[in-house]
Amino acid sequence: MTKHCCGPGYASPAEAMKAPREKLLYTIAIYTGTGIQKPDYLATIDNDPDSPTYSQVISRCEVPGIGDELHHMGWNACSSCFDDASMSRKYLLVPGVRSSNIHIIDCATDPRNPTLFKVIEGAEIKAKTNLSAPHTIHCLGSEIIISMLGDAKGNAPGGYLHLDKDFNIVGRWENSMGGIKFGYDFWYQPRHNVMVSSEWAAPNTFMPGFDLEEVGHLKYGREIHFWDFAKKEPMKTMYLGEDGLIPLEVRFHHNPDSSHGFVGAALSANIIHWWKDAAGEWQWEKIIDVENEPHPEWPIPVPGVISVILLSMDDKYLYFCNWLHGDIRQYDISDPHKPVFTGQVWLGGLLGKAPEVNGVKVTGGPQMIQLSLDGKRLYVTTSLFSTWDNQFYPEIRTNGGCMLQIDCDTENGGMKINPDFVVDFGKEPNGPSRCHETRYPGGDCTSDIWI
């Protein structure tokens, strides 16, 4: 049975790969940190090559306040509730990591012109749960869980906010945080009764900007955590040490039977692979190591800073961005223990290898990526977090961010920048804005989980 694009999802990853081409992109755009006193917004981009407005922003859904710092977002429904006829993928939850407000945006009534449906106030979340700074959002059957990076005062470790399908606050999802020091991303694999979470830092640490000394003072994470999903409590912590400084985005295989997963360690610029061995024990190994690069204006070699990772829907390819170096890489992970380097493109970054692409000066580096369900188109944006942007790429205040499309060879591997697609957020009507995460009306490679 095939669901329409507003249904809760697809029956399997293989079915998802057969979905129609995505003709709309929803991308977060922010004015937070630019000096422009305008609300952040959800930008709708026309992605139909036959349309006269192809690769243009066709609508902007502003949030009510100023300074929210919209960051990551997620659907109210995904493939984990495929068999629930009462659910539809109608709403995007778009949180402000600074304000803790969660904006519920209706993307189904008029997909080309999303509208604000409801706001869950950050003050209410803090009062009821002692949590702040929402980050990753996952559908959990007919309900929703959101990783919260801090307590009400911005201290770590935070926890998990639990919402029902009508966006009412149920409370905190977890029964215990155990000895977890920090929060960030998470992904669950229910057939193994496991959830894996990663670590950034306390909001009070990362929000003002990055200070390398604070890594040495253990104010940034270097562990990943394996949870008993049914009991809602951590059962095992893996200390990654110097190989796993600031482990950010986590991804399990889309295949719900698989125990293999990956995390990108940002500062170490490594990819860590985990899996369950024959004895049922969780193991990890470093499988990719990006070398630091010399820079004439830096006293130390520049780390890649792996800001995001992503798996293709068929679990064949791993993609990741080196935000400071300026490259996106593709690896064949058919054998997850032995990745094979298959593609690379350059845009922006500090190494100066591609300062201009498709006629646009790329300020910032490749940061967030989203892959089409068929694996052939990778969309990339250039802003990480406002204070970090301003620190490492000061010109982004005046140049704004941009969005590009990378064409991917799904048979043999390989990548190239599409010359016909570019969205220049430096030319937005209210002044230069920055673009971050992207999602599609029909679901995407970073939101769908199968049970």
DSSP letter for 413, please. Answer: -
Task: Show the DSSP H helices in 97-178 as ranges.
Answer: 122-129
**Mean pLDDT, residues 129-133 taken together:** 98
In this predicted structure, what is the pLDDT of residue 83? Answer: 78
In this predicted structure, what is the pLDDT of residue 82? Answer: 82
- Give the Cα separation of 163 and 102 in Å (integer): 11
Residue 433 in any domain: the answer is yes
pLDDT surpassing 80 at residue 155: yes
In this predicted structure, what is the pLDDT of residue 5? Answer: 44
In this predicted structure, what is the pLDDT of residue 263? Answer: 98
Q: Which domain holds residue 143?
A: 13-439
DSSP letter for 3, please. Answer: -
pLDDT surpassing 50 at residue 322: yes
Residue 1 in any domain: the answer is no
pLDDT band at residue 7 using 50, 70 and 90 as cut-offs: low
**Mean pLDDT, residues 301-322 taken together:** 98
Residue 3 in any domain: the answer is no
In this predicted structure, what is the pLDDT of residue 431? Answer: 97
pLDDT surpassing 50 at residue 333: yes
In this predicted structure, what is the pLDDT of residue 270? Answer: 98
pLDDT surpassing 50 at residue 4: no
| Structure-token match 């630091």, residue found | 292
Q: What is the pLDDT of residues 212-234, one digit of tens each?
A: 999 999 999 999 999 999 999 99
Residue 204 in any domain: the answer is yes
pLDDT surpassing 70 at residue 319: yes
Residue 446 in any domain: the answer is no
Percent of the chain at pLDDT exceeding 90? 92
Element spanning 396, H or E:
helix 396-399
- Give the Cα separation of 424 and 403 in Å (integer): 7
Residue 5 in any domain: the answer is no
Strands 317-322, 306-311: pairing kind? antiparallel
Q: What is the pLDDT of residues 245-301, one digit of tens each?
A: 999 999 999 999 999 999 999 999 999 999 999 999 999 999 999 999 999 999 999
Q: What is the pLDDT of residues 88-105, one digit of tens each?
A: 899 999 999 999 999 999
Tokens of 48: 């139909």
- Give the Cα separation of 254 and 15 in Å (integer): 12
How does DSSP assign 12-73, residue by residue?
A: SHHHHTTSPPP-EEEEEEE-TTTT-----EEEEEE--TTSTTTTSEEEEEE-SSS---B---
Tokens of 395: 């010109």
pLDDT surpassing 60 at residue 3: no
CATH for 311? 2.130.10.10
Q: How many domains does the chain have?
A: 1
Residue 277 in any domain: the answer is yes
Nearest to 342 by CA among 415, 276, 289, 394: 415
Residue 444 in any domain: the answer is no
- Give the Cα separation of 199 and 181 in Å (integer): 8
Tokens of 177: 């945080």
Query: Model's pTM, two decimal places?
Result: 0.97
Q: How far is CA 437 from the centre of its chain?
A: 6
- Which residue type sits at 426? G
Percent of the chain at pLDDT exceeding 70? 98
